[in-house]
Amino acid sequence: MDTFRIYKHPLLGWAAVKVGFNWFAFLLGVLWLLVARLWKQAALLFAFTFAFNLIVIPSPDSSISEGGRLWVDIFGVAVTIGVAWFIGNNANRWRRINLKSRGYILINSVQAENKDAALALADQALADEIASETEEDSEQDSDAPTEAVKKQIK
């Protein structure tokens, strides 16, 4: 089971972000960053990749020997894997920061098999909280809305 952090936006609803390494970001790089709406990181990765390729890929008429060319290729692959690992390692943290900056509020952390199960657990926990507070309020005969209902309205 993985740990997910559950966020809620007053208008946009729920979001779940896994804690830890993101294999999709590792494998897809800039495409994953664009889908996740991480514009700044996507632009930086694109610029780095463009500049790195200009430096590492020599022109066909360059004076690099066959052995030297092999080492340039090995270096290029190593840097590419290193950058992909960096992205995979930081992608979920960047996504959490992005959600907070867009107005999402951290609600809970849950253990679940996948994102959908995590959202279902969080939704059930909120429903249970509302039900228990409603029971407490009905015992007190109060017409004031409960704290859980106030949170849900927000």
DSSP secondary structure string for all residues of the chain: -EEEEEEEETTTEEEEEESS--HHHHHHTHHHHHHTT-HHHHHHHHHHHHHHHHHHS--TT----HHHHHHHHHHHHHHHHHHHHHHHHHHHHHHHHHHHHTT-EEEEEEEESSHHHHHHHHHHHHHHHHHHHHHHHHHHT--SPPHHHHHHH-
Q: What is the mean pLDDT of residues 66-90?
A: 86
Confidence of residue 108 (pLDDT cuts 50, 70, 90): confident
For residue 62, the model assigns a pLDDT of 63
Q: What is the mean pLDDT of residues 32-60?
A: 87
pLDDT tens digit sequence for 115-150: 899 999 888 887 777 777 776 665 555 555 555 545
pLDDT tens digit sequence for 50-67: 988 887 776 565 666 666
For residue 122, the model assigns a pLDDT of 83
